[in-house]
Amino acid sequence: MTDLQKLTIGKALNLGLRRAMEEDPKVLIMGEDVGKLGGVFRITDGLQKDFGEQRVLDTPLAESGIIGTAVGLAVRGFRPVCEIQFEGFIFPGFDQISSQLAKLHYRTQGKVKMPVVIRVPFGGGIGAVEHHSESPESLFAHIPGLKVVSISNAVDAYWGIQQAIKSDDPILFFEPKRLYHSGALRAEIDTDGTAPPVFSSQVVREGTTATVVAYGPSVKVALDAAAAAEDEGHSLEVVDLRTLSPLDLGPVFESVRKTGRLIALSEAPSESSLTSEIAARVQQECFYSLEAPVLRVTGFDTPYPPAKLEEHYLPDLDRVLHAVDRSLAW
Amino acid sequence: MPSEQWTHPEPGDGPAAVAAQPSPEQVIAGLRATSEGGAELTQLLTPEGERVPSPQFDKYVDDIDAEALRGLYRDMVLVRRADREANAMQRQGQLGIWVPLLGQEAAQIGSGRALRANDMAFPSYREHGVAFARGVDMKDLLGIFRCTDHSGWDYQRHGFHPYTIVIGNQVLNAAGYAMGQKFEGKVGDDDGEATIVYFGDGATSQGDVHEGFVWAAVYDAPLVFFCQNNQWAISEPTERQSRLPLYQRARGYGFPGIRVDGNDVLACLAVSRWALDECRHGNGPVLIEAFTYRMDAHTTTDDPTRYRLSDELEEWKLKDPIERVRAFLARGGGADQAFFDDVQAEADAFAADLRDYTFNMPEPPPDRIFSNVYAEGNPVLEAQREEFLSYLDGFASAGEH
């Protein structure tokens, strides 16, 4: 029986978490304010009421504590899903993530499994004070032993969170916070259907003039740019990375071989980032197909600015189109 | 009273005065003031090998007759002998590094032998004695120090988590594990489970240890915090970690803290059994400060002669954890010379076996680099492995010509 529901990213995550908890009593949700409040973004709304305080843990306020105890719970056989309130607060937990969570499986030659998901609302555009708008995903993609994914739409939110929870590997799950409750991104989801493959990149709009690769909140920017470019007679192909580590660049290579041009789009600072990695690997794999150097449209190599300046900091569709023009002018 | 060891600075002394670098004389004076462990030190066997009655803790070692005590003595001698052998092997270039436990045998055997099969221990990196007590083959430990492996034992079978090198991380991991025991309903009666986590005096300055105290307390986790205060965190003395005795910190988190003579295996066993029992019944957590001394260097890369004076070492030698059991056994007729000789011979054979094994320890194959990074694979890493192995094969083929 098909159960079609029209859901925002936020609701899709909530429903995905609920399904995962129903299916496996070992799934726990833990974090600051995730219980009664339902999380600062209300993603875990109603879960504590239905699953109890022992399955949805309102924890003390310490990120290392949340992640460090999740590691121990995983050793015990639980599948913790941690919520970090904002990406800028994850750093007290960085030690536990990089030293324990990412390495225990390797260190024990596979004897210890680490089925832990860390949900991280990330990215800017919400007019917040500092530490609430950053894009630190490249730092985690650089750590061996972790998987890093980022969703851009409600379908992937619903299925992706369930698949991340089922995975025996530790997963950093980056969620585009400014799109949580976007009505425009509401999608019809067959919530009883079969899970599509989630942790692979995907062409989300076909085109021939140039390729734009993006992830998380930038996918919407790329799609908006592609719609605008159409008016200028350019046909942009858009690839949603979805998985940031391991990078699934096969569809990107294929697209670049078709269009000959690549714009790598991200809100994160550009130096030593995922867009750096994409540029390096695309030139290695697609050197003879490229008509222009890979161009990057990113945040600047500065701390995230005061929010009154974020419209300049965040890549918007005009900057993407400018990059397309530069690529085509080569 | 514990307050005897601890004087609050007068306003005139202020934090600035406290923060000033102490002179070596002040360091030594401070240590001498606390080297007895204070009035609240739980002790069942004096350094002279005299049994001290304890109304609170005697019942926890009722079953420790002469035979059982001989067993604890044997454990400590074997562990010390293995430790000295490993230390020597490092000096001979056979191990990359060694972390000596010399002097801490009673704390580790006493607490380790208090554990039951279903309990879990989270060690730091000096817990070779606990590993031994948990049935871990010491050969499997040596791979870490010969750098062939990161952790060679089955943590579930032995109830002994992998070593943790980053200071204090394991305290939170243990808190999480103990929360799991609680969530599964494995506490509440005599058959309850418990977890014990080991860390040093230096680790108590880490945020993770503080957070571990908070988590275990608010979730009533069945967790025994076992702090081996060996007086030195590499070159930093305990007074660089705390203004008050470490066990007293527990009070601030709302659970009991106790200081035990860490060189007294009987007291360590009794206090650990008590603390674990509290946890099994759902009354945890508990903090134990085992007041002991690291007789050797922090690791084989360290040089303690640069920061501590030999008279301090001489003073602690008089409190040797093995000698006091030997004295007690010999004086009370619990063991004769033949027993001590047998144990020594067994220890020598044990060490020789470790030495043989170490010298012949196989090196891991190169593709081990890529093994078990992920449970579910990673195509990027697989490609890297293939490329590297094919590169290595190139040398093999070239060599055939």
What average pLDDT does chain A have? 96
pLDDT for the residue numbered B389 = 95
Residue B37: pLDDT over 80: no
Cβ pair B373:A144 closer than 8 A: yes
Using DSSP, state whether B213 is helix, strand or coil: helix
Closest chain B CA to residue A95? B169
pLDDT for the residue numbered B2 = 42
Say if residues B215 and B179 touch (Cβ distance below 8 Å): yes
Instruction: Note the pLDDT tens digit of each residue in A160-201.
Output: 999 999 999 999 999 999 999 999 999 999 999 888 887 899
pTM: 0.93
Instruction: Note the pLDDT tens digit of each residue in B208-223.
Output: 999 999 999 999 999 9
- Residue B218, chain A, CB below 8 Å: the answer is yes
pLDDT for the residue numbered A314 = 98
ipTM (interface predicted TM) = 0.94
B63 CA to centre of own chain: 24
Closest chain B CA to residue A65? B211
Residues in B closer than 8 angstroms to A112, CB to CB, are 155, 162
- Name every residue whose Cβ is closer than 8 Å to that of residue B191 and which is 6 or more positions away in sequence: B280
Instruction: Note the pLDDT tens digit of each residue in A99-110.
Output: 999 999 999 999
A288 CA to centre of own chain: 31
Say if residues A240 and A204 touch (Cβ distance below 8 Å): yes
- Residue B156, chain A, CB below 8 Å: the answer is yes
Confidence of residue B331 (pLDDT cuts 50, 70, 90): very high
Catalytic residue among B280, B298, B324, B326: B298
- Percent share of chain B, pLDDT over 90: 84
What is the Cα gyration radius of chain B? 23
- B371 vs B117: CA distance, rounded Å: 30
Which position has the token pair 């076992």?
Answer: B226
pLDDT for the residue numbered B19 = 46
- B91 vs B98: CA distance, rounded Å: 9
**Cβ-defined contacts of A281-289 (< 8 Å, 24+):** A281/A247, A281/A249, A282/A249, A282/A252, A282/A253, A282/A256, A285/A249, A285/A253, A286/A253, A286/A256, A286/A257, A286/A262, A289/A256, A289/A257, A289/A260
- B308 vs A137: CA distance, rounded Å: 46
Residues in B closer than 8 angstroms to A65, CB to CB, are 172, 175, 208, 211-212, 214-215
Q: For residue B352, what are the CA distances in angstroms to B134, B227, B228, B363?
A: 21, 31, 29, 20
Q: Tell me the mean pLDDT in the region B142-153.
A: 94
Amino acid identity of residue B63, one-letter, is D
A29 CA to centre of own chain: 19
- B54 vs B45: CA distance, rounded Å: 10
* Residues in chain A whose Cβ is within 8 Å of chain B: 28, 54, 59-60, 62, 64-65, 67-78, 80, 92, 95-96, 99-100, 104-114, 144-145, 147, 167-169, 246-248
Confidence of residue B23 (pLDDT cuts 50, 70, 90): low
- A37 vs A226: CA distance, rounded Å: 38
Which position has the token pair 């899970």?
Answer: A195
- B391 vs B289: CA distance, rounded Å: 53
pLDDT for the residue numbered B35 = 55
Packed helices B337-359 and B321-332: angle between N→C axes, nearest 10 degrees: 150
Cβ pair A111:B178 closer than 8 A: no
pLDDT for the residue numbered B22 = 57
Q: Tell me the mean pLDDT in the region B93-107.
A: 97
Q: Is B157 a catalytic residue?
A: no
Q: Is A132 a catalytic residue?
A: yes
Amino acid identity of residue A251, one-letter, is P
Cβ pair A64:B211 closer than 8 A: yes
The full DSSP string for B164-182 is --STTHHHHHHHHHHHHHH
Q: Tell me the mean pLDDT in the region A52-65.
A: 97
Q: Does residue B15 have a cis peptide bond before it, meaning omega lies within 30 degrees of 0? A: no
Higher pLDDT pick, B19 / A87: A87
Q: B179, B206, B219: best mutation site toward chain A, by most A Cβ within 10 Å?
A: B179
Residue B397: pLDDT over 90: no
Cβ pair A59:B215 closer than 8 A: yes
- Alpha-carbon distance B76 to nearest alpha carbon in chain A (angstroms): 27
Between CA B203 and CA B130, with CA B153 as vertex, the angle to 5 degrees is: 45
Residues in A closer than 8 angstroms to B162, CB to CB, are 104, 107-108, 112
Confidence of residue B8 (pLDDT cuts 50, 70, 90): very low
Cβ pair A76:B177 closer than 8 A: yes
Instruction: Note the pLDDT tens digit of each residue in B191-209.
Output: 999 999 999 999 999 999 9
Q: A75, A82, A113, A168: best mutation site toward chain B, by most B Cβ within 10 Å?
A: A75
Residue B15: pLDDT over 50: no
- Alpha-carbon distance A252 to nearest alpha carbon in chain B (angstroms): 14
Q: Does residue B237 have a cis peptide bond before it, meaning omega lies within 30 degrees of 0? A: no
Closest chain A CA to residue B183? A54
- Residue B199, chain A, CB below 8 Å: the answer is no
Residues in B closer than 8 angstroms to A80, CB to CB, are 176
Q: Tell me the mean pLDDT in the region A233-251.
A: 97
Confidence of residue B40 (pLDDT cuts 50, 70, 90): confident
Write the residue in B166, B212, B374 that is nearest to A95 by C-beta: B166
Q: A73, A76, A95, A147: best mutation site toward chain B, by most B Cβ within 10 Å?
A: A76
Write the residue in A28, A75, A168 that is nearest to B177 by C-beta: A75
- Alpha-carbon distance A40 to nearest alpha carbon in chain B (angstroms): 21
- Residue B222, chain A, CB below 8 Å: the answer is no
Residue B63: pLDDT over 90: yes
Q: A108, A117, A200: best mutation site toward chain B, by most B Cβ within 10 Å?
A: A108
Residue B400: pLDDT over 70: no
What average pLDDT does chain B have? 91
What is the Cα gyration radius of chain A? 19
Which two structure tokens, joined as six digits, stand for A67?
A: 């992640």
- Name every residue whose Cβ is closer than 8 Å to that of residue B262 and which is 6 or more positions away in sequence: B104, B106, B107, B228, B229, B230, B268, B290, B291, B292, B293, B321
- B292 vs B267: CA distance, rounded Å: 12
Catalytic residue among A132, A234, A312, A322: A132
pLDDT for the residue numbered B17 = 44
- Residue B365, chain A, CB below 8 Å: the answer is no
- Name every residue whose Cβ is closer than 8 Å to that of residue B186 and which is 6 or more positions away in sequence: B118, B192, B193, B222
Of A30, A161, A36, A37, the C-alpha closest to A93 is A30
- B171 vs B163: CA distance, rounded Å: 12
